[in-house]
Structure 1
Amino acid sequence: MFLRRFLCWVSILGLIGGVAAKPQYAFSVPFVLTPGENTIACMNFLNLDEPLHLHVYLAIKGTNHTVFTDEIPARDTFRCKEFQVPDVEINEYSEPPVITMVATGQELVIVKHRTVAFNRNNNIYLVQLDTPIHRPGHKVQFRVISLDSQFRPVNEEYSTVNIIGPSGTPLAEWHNLTAEHGVVPLDFPLPNDAPLGSYNILVRKPKHHVTVNQFKVKEYGHYVDQKLNITVKEEAPETLAHSPKVTFDPEVLPSLKPGIPYVVGMTLRDRELKPMKNEVIELQIDYNNVHNLTTDAEGKAQYEIDMATYERPYLFITANYKDPGEESRPEWLDDPLDYIMAERFYSLTGSYIQVDYPQKELSCGKTYDIPVRYLLSPEGLGGGIRNISFYFLMVSRGKIVSSGEHSVDVSDKLPCLRATEQDKNMDVNITRCGNFSLSLTMPSQYSPSINIVVYSMLQAEVITGIAHLNMEKCLKHQVSLSFSASDGAPGSDVYLMLKADPGSLCGLQIIDSSILLHNNKGQITAEELEYALYNQEIEFMENHLVPEEPETPCIEVNGSDSVLFYREGSAYFDFQNAGLIFATNTSLQRPWICGDTGYFLRQRMMLHNTKYKKHHYNTFREQFPKVTKLKYAFPEIWSFDVVMVGESGSASVTLRVPDTSSQWQASMFCLSEESGLGITNYPSNFTSTL
């Protein structure tokens, strides 16, 4: 099977040898454009014999709108141009916009069309609950929050807000609501006989956008008129049914590229999701090779797998942790094992780029060196080529925010050495390997997805590497919240001190921390903001993605040969995963099997970044205090008020301590017209004692 594939490559590449390099071009632009906003497109032109006049326009509803023109010199050129997207209204029934690049010279004419999507509404919608769990007869309070793409408050209009009970029966409904300072506060009483179960809050905009949040109604916390001596033995509470568990870090899972080491990262956490250091993780490769790895202070371990002689189309890896203090495992505990199947990346010439990136969160506005490794086969290099250019595009929140070029002299690079006789017969001893670093500055404003695409335009194909960078959840608006004392007696006064930008509206939430042990959904946190942004992006892409027809002809194969290409990644998918269109006359796509609907299914599947698969697994907060005292009453909410911050940038709120023995957790979000959303990084704690 491998030999047939190799002979196929040779027959195709045989057409390339001895032929003068033809002109090459590429045009990259975000797939999703926002009318009225600026965005960036990038162009490559190689092997030109004459200068070209470049004209780029958008065809919208039958009208061509020029977005920019440029003059391209008769030499290799890489440049990016900022342009404003025409502010044209289109609806869901309109023909999708088409962007066209036309480059004309005396003899050469290049015309390339690509379909794009318009997304006018980049607003973000969040629903904050006073508490995620309620009892029958209690009042439910919540806030609907609307933000623009820069996290600034938007006075959005909502057609309806509905409360739907467990059986699907509407319990409350509001019509034609308008936010003030980005917030709509609402509340309603639960009936005393309210059925137990999950309730949904549905927020609808006039154009059918729906935001959903959920709370639960449970019977709990009944009054007790006598003192009881109780011994509690924890068996399997809902939120703590975890044993120590090892998970592969989804940001450190590259595609399988023969000849380039495969790096896997793992994290080991205990039952409270705290990192476990100096513990041993057992790593197994393809069911037999076992390696013991020791975790660092952050519970992380990393291993590099040598791929120099690996020929299989996939790599199966398992990571397991055996708790030395655990003789037997209860059935309700999570399995401590994790596994992945790394799939091969397609390359016509057997040339690859691998972008290595740090496991840690990268700080906003700081500069980092991102390592890049490459492997260039003789077929990929072509005859006599000494210098290869690598290009990079950094994409943040659907826009190209940084770009650049890095040239490498490959003539002085040491050959890649491989061990097999098959490799020697293929003359891969002149395959060149090397590495370099890109100095990249992170955006100053938080983004849930930073994608770096590094690519090179070889004579036979475009090769790529992609990295999904993990960025710290930094917001420009810095806010803080603190109590004047750490504890106090019921009925006494305590002061809550707020700091935010002048003129901010701040939403307080002071909640009994024990409630969050049951469920911590519906809170305004950086993690929930991240997830809302990601869901917004995925929802739009899935509803508007227009798959392009493959530009390469399909191939007829029989039997197991079809698995060669079915699951492989490609340069085409790398650009698509970064949210980019990449139009070129150089081979970009892997071969596809005639009648293979999986080609198009893959395009939708690849949109789902593995970074978010474990989102709900990580929502348990390590800082939750442990509740150990017996309670006589359960006033779960102390405050769910809104406070305006004056010109001084600070405010003080006087609160009466509730008549209960509780540990309270206070958090806050603030909205400023200038600096946008601010969220307290850590809760402020207060203990009330009887």
Structure 2
Amino acid sequence: GYILTLPKVLWGNVTVSAHLNLFNVADEGSITLKFMRIDSNVTIWEQTEKIKGEASKSVPLYVPWVSESQMMQLKIEGRFGTLSLPSYTIENTQNVYVEARPWITFIQPDKELYLPGQLIRFRILSVTPDLRPSLEPIADVWLEDTTGTRVAQWKNVPVIAYVGIAQMEFQLSEEPPQGTWFIKAKVDGQTEMKTIQVSEYVLPKFSLTIVRPDVVLANAVSIPIEFCAKYTHGQPVKGTLNAEISPRTYGYNITEKRLQVKISDQQISGCHKVVLTEAEMGMDNGRLRPYGIQIAASFKEEGTDVKDDASALLSFLFHEVELNFYKDTPQFFKPGLDFDGRVRVQSASTSQAVSGEKIEICVSGKQPTGGFQWTPFGCKNLTSGEDGYVKFTVPPVSSNFTELTVSAKAVDRPNQAYPKEQQRWGDRMSQAESSHYVKAWFSPSESYIKSDSDIVGSLPCNSKASIRIHLVTTSDPPDHLYYEVKSRGSKVQQSRFALPANTETVPESAHSVQRIDLNSSYVFDSKSNVTKFSGILIVDITPEMSPLANVVIYYVRKDGEVVADYIKLSVEKCLSHQVSLQWSKVEDYPGASVQFTVKAEPESACGIRVVDKSVDLLKSSQQLNLNNVFSQLSRFSESYSGPVIKDDWEYCQKRMNERTTTTTTTTTEAPTTEATSTTDSKSSEKTASTTTTAPTRPVPPISTPHIVPLKNNFSSFVYLFRMREFWP
């Protein structure tokens, strides 16, 4: 048999890594992979790979270019042994989704605001999701003015060898159309665009800023606000300040007296600070119940009368702490295994971790036939640790329940009402709450894998991640488990590992101290034939995994069922090549010469941009930096699953009904199934024979290919093509 894994969402004109695992196939052979149109079965691309007795092989699979995103068919054909008498053959077809726009194109002008007569300089760089540059010429580059007229055009623009950068420039006339201009480039059939501004302007010498908290609690008694006018070189400016500060309220509160704090013709030198009271902003008035503060200010420089304006919006928060289920809290629970989760407690105003906070964790469940009725399992008060996390464990839940809800509530921070005479609607402060919905993972054989970790935050590049693996099975454990690491739509690592024979190597739960006690009638009834194993998987963290990686762990039972789990790892934003720039001096006199030093990896190509800071004050610059690069990479994130290709609901419902029927019609003896593969010496054709004591799971004909429908959340980033003689 075999399993072929590859990303669910494929990108056209990109080579991805597919992984083939063969089971009990000793002969040499070959496989052919074909991309076909879904409507006509016309082959667009095919490639053949030789298999020389390998049990595991990575296959570089080229995905054909598409002009627009579309569904396609991927067909796998394989033949092992001799041509006349093959010992094993493969033939299977699966729908796949191919996305257009595989390239990330950066268009970087030297600045974003130009005067008439100035020279526009810009460069273009296209990279793959693994940030490797395209070395192909750029088909078309052009510059449009405000009317949409092409004022310049470049065809088949060559890029710098081994670097992939193309650099161009355009001289503006003395009287160009003023307004928004467009730099456009066509890369791999897709048009990318960058806007710039052309206008008459005077570079500012100073700027006015409003220094205030990002957020304020609705029960605050005072709010500090500071207005600062400073030159671009950091020195204070003398002048006159005017400002208006008013609360923002909902429309039906306009009958209340309008509140406002004014600052009129205030002479300042640099900064001026004011402290607002709760009464001035109506924060203690339940009939107003403001949700924020609007600030508008104007400053005029002494002697020149040059003005600068600034405005800001300050929002109110109506709870003191925030409760969030950490992103590694699973969306599924596995029968027979603990369910572990984490709730982060943080200050609503500062986002800092809050330790020693009492949090009530409650668990409830729902049965498939229970309609909208939820059964409360129990609650327990837990305390957040120094890192602000509440770590909890729910014991294995009875298989009668298929859905869980875990809720968290800050016990010591109840709702705070306004004075009764001022109460209109809502409380001044609300109790912090959060909830997490969980589904049951289904396995026909009741075999499950659970992966978890104590990792908090993002892992540094070139470090190691420790992942606990727990396995429960009703049969003999596998000799090996396989794992694959996927990031940015591609596989970056794969290997296999063995679980230790000692079942006590790793505790099933690392959070047993904070265990939620359940009524015995709601706890999983462990069968005598269930065996548990555990171990540790160490994964090397590389820059290719940044900013998010998914680790898939799986194995294949002898009856063909794929048992799998996955875990997400957050990785710091980092690049495989490091670069830094440093000035010789932090500040110097006008007209002085300064130097800067660039450090990078050997044979790196570095692009330098130096511009007057005042230009960025007039128009904020969206220049190429680490955050912008990873923002573009987000569209390759594994969280994007593409369209639904195969819905697993019908499959799971059918299997659940079969299991229910089996339970009510068979004897008390648990049915056992044993699958074996044999080879007929006369025909050399591989066949499968199955013996069962209770034939409740009929084996389909060998000629029928099978594809395992996995949970949507799992299949969002990997396909598993099934062995044709295996059955779900």
Tell me the TM-score normalized by structure 2.
0.57
CA distance in 2 between counterparts of 1:511 and 1:580 reads: 51
Task: Please state whether the residue corresponding to 2:498 is helix, strand or coil.
Answer: strand
On the 8 A contact 1:67/1:85 being kept in 2, the answer is: no
Give the alignment partner of residue 47 of structure 2, picking from 65, 73, 79: 65
Task: Please state whether the residue corresponding to 1:362 is helix, strand or coil.
Answer: coil
Task: Please state whether the residue corresponding to 2:547 is helix, strand or coil.
Answer: coil
On the 8 A contact 1:159/1:206 being kept in 2, the answer is: yes
Letter in 1 for 2:381: H
Q: CA deviation at 1:373?
A: 1.3
Give the alignment partner of residue 440 of structure 1, picking from 522, 532, 539: 539
On the 8 A contact 1:145/1:183 being kept in 2, the answer is: yes
Higher deviation after alignment, 348-357 or 144-153: 144-153
Partner of 1:349: 445
CA distance in 2 between counterparts of 1:292 and 1:164 reads: 62
2:511 paired with 1:535: no
CA distance in 1 between counterparts of 2:537 and 2:316 reads: 40
Partner of 1:17: none
Partner of 1:249: 326
Q: CA deviation at 1:371?
A: 0.9
Alignment of 1:346-495 (within 5 A): 346-357=442-453, 358-376=455-473, 378=474, 381=475, 385=476, 389-397=480-488, 398-399=490-491, 401-407=493-499, 409=501, 420=520, 428-443=527-542, 445-460=544-559, 461-487=561-587, 495=595
2:113 paired with 1:113: no
Task: Please state whether the residue corresponding to 2:461 is helix, strand or coil.
Answer: coil
Partner of 1:665: none
CA distance in 2 between counterparts of 1:365 and 1:262 reads: 30
Give the alignment partner of residue 316 of structure 1, picking from 392, 405, 419: 405
More strand by share: 2
Alignment of 1:543-622 (within 5 A): 547-548=645-646, 571=710, 573=712, 576-585=715-724
Letter in 1 for 2:645: P
CA distance 1:331–1:241, shift in 2 (3 Å): farther
Partner of 2:379: 289
CA distance in 2 between counterparts of 1:319 and 1:131 reads: 49
Letter in 2 for 1:43: N
2:240 paired with 1:227: yes
Alignment of 1:195-274 (within 5 A): 203-205=184-186, 207-211=188-192, 226-228=239-241, 229=266, 230-232=272-274, 235=293, 241=315, 243=317, 245-270=322-347
Q: CA deviation at 1:304?
A: 2.8
User: Identity over the aligned pairs, expressed in percent?
Assistant: 15
2:4 paired with 1:27: yes
CA distance in 1 between counterparts of 2:615 and 2:356 reads: 31
CA distance in 2 between counterparts of 1:216 and 1:232 reads: 37
CA distance 1:553–1:540, shift in 2 (3 Å): closer
**CA displacement 1:211-261 (0-9 Å, x = unmatched):** 4678999x9968999434354558367686475644333244342223322
CA distance in 2 between counterparts of 1:301 and 1:509 reads: 48
CA distance in 2 between counterparts of 1:200 and 1:345 reads: 54
Q: CA deviation at 1:437?
A: 0.9
More helix by share: 1
CA distance in 1 between counterparts of 2:463 and 2:710 reads: 28
CA distance 1:361–1:514, shift in 2 (3 Å): farther
Partner of 2:56: 80
On the 8 A contact 2:405/2:436 being kept in 1, the answer is: yes
Partner of 1:39: 17
Q: CA deviation at 1:392?
A: 1.7
Q: CA deviation at 1:402?
A: 1.9
CA distance in 2 between counterparts of 1:159 and 1:185 reads: 12
Higher deviation after alignment, 447-456 or 113-122: 113-122
Paired residues in the alignment total 531
Q: CA deviation at 1:327?
A: 6.7
Letter in 2 for 1:359: V
On the 8 A contact 1:346/1:570 being kept in 2, the answer is: no
Partner of 1:278: 355
CA distance in 2 between counterparts of 1:212 and 1:158 reads: 14
CA distance 1:44–1:449, shift in 2 (3 Å): farther
On the 8 A contact 1:284/1:291 being kept in 2, the answer is: yes
Q: CA deviation at 1:435?
A: 1.3
Q: CA deviation at 1:322?
A: 8.6
CA distance in 2 between counterparts of 1:86 and 1:443 reads: 24
**CA displacement 1:453-498 (0-9 Å, x = unmatched):** 1112224522111012112222122222233344556676654443
On the 8 A contact 1:262/1:305 being kept in 2, the answer is: yes
Task: Please state whether the residue corresponding to 1:506 is helix, strand or coil.
Answer: coil
On the 8 A contact 1:136/1:192 being kept in 2, the answer is: no
On the 8 A contact 1:361/1:471 being kept in 2, the answer is: yes
Letter in 2 for 1:58: L
On the 8 A contact 1:146/1:154 being kept in 2, the answer is: yes
CA distance in 2 between counterparts of 1:521 and 1:268 reads: 35
Letter in 1 for 2:482: Y
Partner of 1:684: none
Q: CA deviation at 1:353?
A: 0.9
CA distance in 2 between counterparts of 1:333 and 1:30 reads: 46
Task: Please state whether the residue corresponding to 1:531 is helix, strand or coil.
Answer: helix
Letter in 1 for 2:484: L
Higher relative contact order (CA 8 A, sep 6+): 1
On the 8 A contact 2:16/2:62 being kept in 1, the answer is: no
Partner of 2:126: 146
Letter in 2 for 1:547: I
Q: CA deviation at 1:289?
A: 2.4
**CA displacement 1:269-320 (0-9 Å, x = unmatched):** 55676533535263533487253432434x5443333334585433333445
Higher deviation after alignment, 406-415 or 572-581: 406-415
Partner of 2:598: 498
On the 8 A contact 2:363/2:404 being kept in 1, the answer is: yes
CA distance 1:274–1:428, shift in 2 (3 Å): same
Gaps in structure 2 of 5+ consecutive residues: 36-42, 209-228, 230-236, 242-265, 267-271, 277-292, 296-311, 365-377, 419-425, 509-516, 657-707
Task: Please state whether the residue corresponding to 1:584 is helix, strand or coil.
Answer: coil
Tell me the TM-score normalized by structure 1.
0.60
Q: CA deviation at 1:532?
A: 1.4
**CA displacement 1:65-121 (0-9 Å, x = unmatched):** 32222337xxxxxx3213444697676699655333445696864423234567797
Alignment of 1:123-162 (within 5 A): 123-127=103-107, 144-154=124-134, 157=138, 159=140
Letter in 1 for 2:19: A
Partner of 1:55: 30
Task: Please state whether the residue corresponding to 1:430 is helix, strand or coil.
Answer: coil
On the 8 A contact 2:3/2:723 being kept in 1, the answer is: yes
Letter in 2 for 1:477: H
CA distance 1:333–1:118, shift in 2 (3 Å): same
Task: Please state whether the residue corresponding to 1:534 is helix, strand or coil.
Answer: helix
Higher deviation after alignment, 175-184 or 366-375: 175-184
Task: Please state whether the residue corresponding to 1:205 is helix, strand or coil.
Answer: strand
CA distance in 2 between counterparts of 1:290 and 1:236 reads: 42
Task: Please state whether the residue corresponding to 2:436 is helix, strand or coil.
Answer: strand
Task: Please state whether the residue corresponding to 2:53 is helix, strand or coil.
Answer: strand
Letter in 1 for 2:3: A
**CA displacement 1:595-637 (0-9 Å, x = unmatched):** xxxxxxxxxxxxxxxxxxxxxxxxxxxxxxxxxxxxxxxxxxx
Pair member with larger Rg: 2
Higher deviation after alignment, 364-373 or 153-162: 153-162
Q: CA RMSD in A?
A: 5.7
On the 8 A contact 1:352/1:374 being kept in 2, the answer is: yes
